[in-house]
Structure formats: C-alpha cells, structure tokens
Amino acid sequence: MTLDFIKKMIDWFKDGKNLPRRYVWEIVLGAHSHFAKEESMVNLDLEDGVTCDVIGDVHGQFYDLLNLYSLTGEPNDKHCLLMNGDLVDRGSWSIEVILTAFAYKWLYPTRMFINRGNHEAKDMNRTYGFEGEAKHKHGEQTYKLFAYVFTTLPLATLVSATKLPATPDKAAILSPEGRKRYFVVHGGLFSKDGVTLDDIRKIERVGRQPGQEGLMCELLWTDPQEMPGRGPSKRGVGIAFGPDVTRRWCTLNGVTGIIRSHEVRENGYAIEHDGLCTTVFSAPNYVDQVGNKGAFIRIDSSGTQKYFQFDATPHPPMKPMAYAQGGLSSLLM
C-alpha cells in the first residue's frame, strides 16, 4: 500500500468504477492485520506537536468524506485521524468509504484509527444497505469478509494529552497524571455505574455482534439525555444516560470528557452534559434531506479541542439506500 495507490484508487472511485476483487481483499486483510493487534479500547497518546481529528458518522457519503479529508488532511507523523464508527450503510458509496478508510489504516496503522459503530454489524448491514452494496459490487464472499473484519474493530479509543493543560482549569476532570484525556466511543455510557476503562479494554469482541444488551451493545448504541439518571432508549436498544451519569463515570475513570457520535446534530456537533459529553456527526445533509452541517473535532497534545464545520458536497445522481431492502427508511437507527 502506498499513498499514490490510495490517490489513484479515489480517482477510480470518482469515475464510478469498482476495484478488482483481489485488491479489495488485500486492502481489507491489510487493515485487519492491524485491527487484530489492537485491544478493545485503544490508547492514543498525543505526543508534543501531534494532533488528532475525531470524525463522526459518515454513512457511505463518499463525496462528503473526500471533502472532509481535504479539510483534515491525510494521516502523517504529526496528525492522526480517528473515525468514530458508522462508516457504512444509508449512503450508497459505503464500499468506497470503507475501502478508503481501510487503505489508510493499512498504510498508517499508528496514525489512522477506526472505532466500531452500531452499523458495523450484520443486522444493520442487512437492513440499511451495506450488505446489498457489497454483494452487488464484489460478491457474497467479500461481504462475509467485511462482516468478520468489522468484529475486529476496536470499540473505543482513549485519546490522552501528553502535555499539561496550557491553562489550568480547576473544574476539569484530569487523568491521575494531571493531563486531559478523552474517551471516544460511537454510542455512549452504561446501564450501571462502576464500569472502568479496564473493563472496556478486556471486552472480547472478535467474531461477535453487539447483541441487545451488555457492555459492547451499550458502547455502540446508547445516547445522552438532558434529564438526570437513566431512561429508556428511543431506539429500542441500549439506554439514555443523563449528565449525572456522565459526571460520575468521568470522575471514576479520570476522563476529561466523552466524545461520541451516533446522532445527527444540526450544527455537526453539540456540547452537552455541562461540557463533559460532545456529539460529533460528519455526514452533512444526512441522507440528502436533513440539511445539517457536518463537523469534526481537533485535539492537540495539551488536550485543547477545536471544532470545524463543513457543508455537503454535490454527488452523482444516486439516491441514499439504493442497495437497501425496501429502499429509504427510518433515519433513527
């Protein structure tokens, strides 16, 4: 894998062409070789001068992803990308999105990170388009390969600053070493108190689907709510967690804040739970009809966050959910 290959592959995709199946398998297996070595929670320490861009759901919106990458820049020695799940489904270029992301993972394994989302799962892929798209473009065995490799994606990433905060903030929750660190996960927190970072790190994920309950399910499916405590999920899977739940969990684990995705936000991001929980969503004008902006978050080596917004980019005349069973359906999941 080379950067030149990735650029030529992107041009190939923009011309509406499919990669030869042998190349697809090589890219997926090349990325898998690195995912398989990572724990269920990856530790990403931002050395002096290194930044990390956290990217939310992109949902198969390939042309928006290319615009996004033009804003973030490619991974390099001083810059990391962290894609926080839901790369596929809904948008009709999910294959192009996932192959581009996996190619970067293969080329820059310590600078490109991908968390699993609730849509990197068989039941969602069957309903929301990725299974149909993968089979249409590359055959059933290729879809099965993707389905397995999705189970090797880490479930969360702990992004840690290595420098002390530039401006002391007595109210901030810091690591035991006095540094800022952010827990990046697709969905959110848990149906019970007391879950530790070590509990997450030890989750056996490979070969497994998220299911309807348990830590893996909740990491990928839960949402924040404004009310204190916990409530039922509007999705029917997972729970909703309040600001008091977030503060207790962050305090227990020495986490400065949670960065999660999983939900559309009109401005591309929203700072919630008294600043302890931020939602970032990176699919602008979601499914060609919501009208939202996209966003990403940049974190530097002192733990400072900056927020960047962007608008949707024109794309060829292909409707969302083109390969899904029953066509365009509910936006909620």
Displacement of CA 71 from its chain's centroid (Å)? 17
Q: To 10 degrees, the CA torsion angle through 255, 260, 265, 270? A: 10
pLDDT at 330: 46
The 10s digit of each residue's pLDDT in 46-94 is 999 999 999 999 999 999 999 999 999 999 999 999 999 999 999 999 9
The 10s digit of each residue's pLDDT in 163-221 is 987 777 778 999 999 999 999 999 999 999 999 999 999 999 999 999 999 999 999 99
pLDDT of 327 strictly over 80? no
Q: To 10 degrees, the CA torsion angle through 72, 75, 78, 82? A: 70
Sheet holding 79-84, edge to edge: 112-115, 79-84, 51-55, 294-299, 305-310
- Phi and psi at 296, nearest 5°, equal -145, 160
Multiple choice CATH, 19-310, 3.60.21.10, 1.20.272.10, 3.40.50.10170, 1.10.630.10: 3.60.21.10
| Separation between Cα atoms, residue 146 and residue 127, nearest integer Å | 16
| Separation between Cα atoms, residue 59 and residue 283, nearest integer Å | 7
The 10s digit of each residue's pLDDT in 242-287 is 999 999 999 999 999 999 999 999 999 999 999 999 999 999 999 9
Q: Which segments within the chain are labelled E, that is strand?
A: 41-46, 51-55, 79-84, 112-115, 156-161, 181-185, 223-224, 230-232, 239-241, 257-260, 269-272, 277-280, 294-299, 305-310
138 is catalytic: no
Measured CA angle at 95 (ends 150, 329), to 5 deg:
85
Q: To 10 degrees, the CA torsion angle through 120, 121, 126, 128? A: -40
| Separation between Cα atoms, residue 104 and residue 3, nearest integer Å | 8
pLDDT at 170: 79
Q: Which of 119, 138, 186, 273 is catalytic?
A: 119
Q: Where are the domains of the chain?
A: 19-310
